[in-house]
Protein backbone atom coordinates (compact mmCIF):
# COMPACT_ATOMS: atom_id res chain seq x y z
CA UNK A 1 0.00 0.00 0.00
CA UNK A 2 2.77 2.43 0.99
CA UNK A 3 4.63 1.75 -2.28
CA UNK A 4 1.47 2.43 -4.28
CA UNK A 5 0.97 5.70 -2.42
CA UNK A 6 4.56 6.80 -3.14
CA UNK A 7 4.18 5.83 -6.79
CA UNK A 8 1.03 7.95 -7.02
CA UNK A 9 2.86 10.95 -5.56
CA UNK A 10 5.73 10.53 -8.02
CA UNK A 11 3.32 10.32 -10.97
CA UNK A 12 1.37 13.37 -9.79
CA UNK A 13 4.56 15.39 -9.34
CA UNK A 14 5.80 14.40 -12.79
CA UNK A 15 2.46 15.37 -14.28
CA UNK A 16 2.56 18.80 -12.64
CA UNK A 17 6.13 19.33 -13.80
CA UNK A 18 5.14 18.57 -17.38
CA UNK A 19 2.14 20.90 -17.16
CA UNK A 20 4.38 23.68 -15.84
CA UNK A 21 6.87 23.19 -18.65
CA UNK A 22 4.09 23.39 -21.24
CA UNK A 23 2.72 26.56 -19.69
CA UNK A 24 6.07 28.29 -20.16
CA UNK A 25 5.79 28.03 -23.95
CA UNK A 26 3.06 30.13 -25.58
CA UNK A 27 2.03 30.98 -29.13
CA UNK A 28 1.16 34.50 -30.23
CA UNK A 29 -0.29 35.88 -33.47
CA UNK A 30 1.00 39.09 -35.03
CA UNK A 31 -1.79 41.68 -35.26
CA UNK A 32 -1.63 43.19 -38.80
CA UNK A 33 -3.68 46.22 -37.76
CA UNK A 34 -1.04 47.28 -35.23
CA UNK A 35 2.19 46.13 -36.89
CA UNK A 36 4.36 47.61 -39.62
CA UNK A 37 7.80 47.72 -41.21
CA UNK A 38 9.38 51.15 -41.61
CA UNK A 39 12.41 51.85 -43.77
CA UNK A 40 14.81 54.64 -44.66
CA UNK A 41 17.08 54.97 -47.68
CA UNK A 42 19.35 57.72 -49.00
CA UNK A 43 18.22 59.62 -52.13
CA UNK A 44 20.73 61.36 -54.42
CA UNK A 45 23.14 61.48 -51.48
CA UNK A 46 21.38 64.52 -50.01
CA UNK A 47 18.25 63.34 -48.20
CA UNK A 48 16.47 60.30 -46.80
CA UNK A 49 13.26 58.79 -48.12
CA UNK A 50 11.05 57.11 -45.53
CA UNK A 51 8.46 54.46 -46.20
CA UNK A 52 6.43 51.67 -44.68
CA UNK A 53 5.11 48.22 -45.49
CA UNK A 54 1.99 46.98 -43.77
CA UNK A 55 -0.14 43.85 -43.56
CA UNK A 56 2.47 42.18 -41.36
CA UNK A 57 1.29 38.72 -40.27
CA UNK A 58 2.84 35.75 -38.56
CA UNK A 59 3.45 33.76 -35.42
CA UNK A 60 5.69 34.13 -32.39
CA UNK A 61 6.44 31.13 -30.19
CA UNK A 62 7.64 32.44 -26.83
CA UNK A 63 9.56 30.34 -24.32
CA UNK A 64 9.44 32.11 -20.95
CA UNK A 65 12.03 29.82 -19.39
CA UNK A 66 14.58 30.15 -22.19
CA UNK A 67 13.91 33.07 -24.54
CA UNK A 68 16.65 31.80 -26.87
CA UNK A 69 14.31 28.94 -27.79
CA UNK A 70 11.62 31.37 -28.97
CA UNK A 71 10.95 31.80 -32.68
CA UNK A 72 9.35 34.20 -35.16
CA UNK A 73 7.83 33.62 -38.59
CA UNK A 74 6.27 36.51 -40.48
CA UNK A 75 5.19 37.86 -43.84
CA UNK A 76 4.41 41.33 -45.20
CA UNK A 77 2.53 42.22 -48.38
CA UNK A 78 4.74 44.17 -50.79
CA UNK A 79 1.70 45.81 -52.42
CA UNK A 80 1.22 47.86 -49.24
CA UNK A 81 4.52 49.74 -49.66
CA UNK A 82 4.01 53.47 -49.16
CA UNK A 83 6.30 56.51 -49.20
CA UNK A 84 3.45 59.05 -49.31
CA UNK A 85 4.08 59.70 -53.00
CA UNK A 86 1.79 57.93 -55.45
CA UNK A 87 4.13 58.12 -58.45
CA UNK A 88 7.10 56.79 -56.46
CA UNK A 89 4.98 54.07 -54.83
CA UNK A 90 3.79 52.88 -58.25
CA UNK A 91 7.42 52.69 -59.38
CA UNK A 92 8.41 50.79 -56.23
CA UNK A 93 5.73 48.18 -56.97
CA UNK A 94 7.01 47.69 -60.52
CA UNK A 95 9.57 45.07 -61.70
CA UNK A 96 12.31 47.70 -61.12
CA UNK A 97 11.95 47.18 -57.37
CA UNK A 98 9.48 45.03 -55.39
CA UNK A 99 7.85 43.50 -58.49
CA UNK A 100 4.70 42.87 -56.47
CA UNK A 101 3.00 40.81 -59.18
CA UNK A 102 5.82 38.26 -59.07
CA UNK A 103 6.85 38.60 -55.41
CA UNK A 104 3.74 39.51 -53.38
CA UNK A 105 5.34 38.91 -49.99
CA UNK A 106 8.45 39.51 -47.96
CA UNK A 107 9.08 36.61 -45.57
CA UNK A 108 11.16 36.22 -42.42
CA UNK A 109 11.91 33.04 -40.50
CA UNK A 110 14.08 33.21 -37.40
CA UNK A 111 17.01 30.84 -36.96
CA UNK A 112 18.29 32.01 -33.57
CA UNK A 113 17.57 34.38 -30.71
CA UNK A 114 20.27 35.43 -28.29
CA UNK A 115 20.66 37.60 -25.22
CA UNK A 116 24.25 36.55 -24.55
CA UNK A 117 25.47 40.15 -24.53
CA UNK A 118 22.60 41.37 -22.36
CA UNK A 119 20.90 42.71 -25.48
CA UNK A 120 18.36 40.64 -27.37
CA UNK A 121 19.27 39.90 -31.00
CA UNK A 122 17.16 38.02 -33.52
CA UNK A 123 18.77 36.33 -36.51
CA UNK A 124 16.87 34.81 -39.40
CA UNK A 125 16.35 34.33 -43.11
CA UNK A 126 14.81 37.27 -44.95
CA UNK A 127 13.41 36.66 -48.43
CA UNK A 128 12.92 39.70 -50.67
CA UNK A 129 12.26 39.52 -54.43
CA UNK A 130 13.08 35.83 -54.40
CA UNK A 131 16.48 36.25 -52.74
CA UNK A 132 17.10 34.90 -49.24
CA UNK A 133 19.79 36.33 -46.97
CA UNK A 134 20.56 36.16 -43.27
CA UNK A 135 19.84 39.33 -41.29
CA UNK A 136 20.31 40.16 -37.61
CA UNK A 137 17.97 42.48 -35.74
CA UNK A 138 18.34 44.28 -32.43
CA UNK A 139 15.20 43.67 -30.39
CA UNK A 140 13.52 45.96 -27.87
CA UNK A 141 11.07 43.93 -25.83
CA UNK A 142 8.97 41.98 -25.47
CA UNK A 143 6.69 44.28 -23.48
CA UNK A 144 5.07 42.91 -20.32
CA UNK A 145 1.78 41.23 -21.37
CA UNK A 146 -1.43 43.16 -20.77
CA UNK A 147 -4.84 41.49 -20.45
CA UNK A 148 -7.98 43.51 -21.22
CA UNK A 149 -11.42 43.15 -19.63
CA UNK A 150 -12.41 40.63 -22.32
CA UNK A 151 -9.54 38.33 -21.40
CA UNK A 152 -7.43 39.13 -24.47
CA UNK A 153 -3.70 39.14 -23.69
CA UNK A 154 -1.39 41.30 -25.76
CA UNK A 155 2.29 42.11 -25.90
CA UNK A 156 4.65 43.62 -28.45
CA UNK A 157 8.20 44.31 -29.46
CA UNK A 158 10.27 46.43 -31.81
CA UNK A 159 13.29 45.41 -33.86
CA UNK A 160 15.74 47.26 -36.05
CA UNK A 161 18.42 46.36 -38.54
CA UNK A 162 20.18 47.22 -41.77
CA UNK A 163 20.56 45.51 -45.12
CA UNK A 164 22.17 46.20 -48.48
CA UNK A 165 19.70 46.28 -51.34
CA UNK A 166 22.42 45.00 -53.69
CA UNK A 167 22.49 41.75 -51.65
CA UNK A 168 18.89 41.17 -52.72
CA UNK A 169 19.37 42.41 -56.30
CA UNK A 170 16.84 45.08 -55.39
CA UNK A 171 16.63 48.00 -57.82
CA UNK A 172 19.76 46.93 -59.75
CA UNK A 173 19.21 49.59 -62.44
CA UNK A 174 19.79 52.34 -59.91
CA UNK A 175 23.30 52.90 -58.58
CA UNK A 176 24.37 54.29 -55.25
CA UNK A 177 24.58 57.83 -56.60
CA UNK A 178 20.82 57.77 -57.20
CA UNK A 179 19.60 55.52 -54.40
CA UNK A 180 21.74 54.46 -51.46
CA UNK A 181 22.67 50.81 -51.05
CA UNK A 182 22.14 50.76 -47.28
CA UNK A 183 18.56 50.37 -46.10
CA UNK A 184 17.78 50.99 -42.45
CA UNK A 185 14.58 49.39 -41.22
CA UNK A 186 12.57 48.96 -38.07
CA UNK A 187 9.67 46.70 -37.21
CA UNK A 188 6.92 47.40 -34.71
CA UNK A 189 4.80 44.40 -33.82
CA UNK A 190 1.80 43.86 -31.57
CA UNK A 191 1.06 40.24 -30.74
CA UNK A 192 -2.05 38.51 -29.37
CA UNK A 193 -1.85 35.38 -27.25
CA UNK A 194 -3.61 32.41 -28.81
Check whether 53 has a pLDDT greater than 60: yes
pTM of the model: 0.83
Q: What's the pLDDT at 172?
A: 86
Domains annotated for the chain, with CATH where assigned, are 26-193 (2.40.128.110)
- Return all residues near 35 (Cβ < 8 A) that are at least 6 apart: 54, 56, 187, 188, 189, 190
Please report which helix (H) or strand (E) contains residue 92, including its range: helix 86-92
Confidence of residue 23 (pLDDT cuts 50, 70, 90): low
Partner residues linked to 98 by β-bridges: none
Alpha carbon distance 191, 194 (integer Å)? 9
Confidence of residue 115 (pLDDT cuts 50, 70, 90): confident
Amino acid sequence: MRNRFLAAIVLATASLACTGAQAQISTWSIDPAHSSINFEIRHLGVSNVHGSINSVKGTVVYDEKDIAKSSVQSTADTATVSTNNEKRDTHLKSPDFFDVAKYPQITFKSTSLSNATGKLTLTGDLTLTGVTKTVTLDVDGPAPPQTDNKGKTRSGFSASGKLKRSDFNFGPKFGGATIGDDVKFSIDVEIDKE
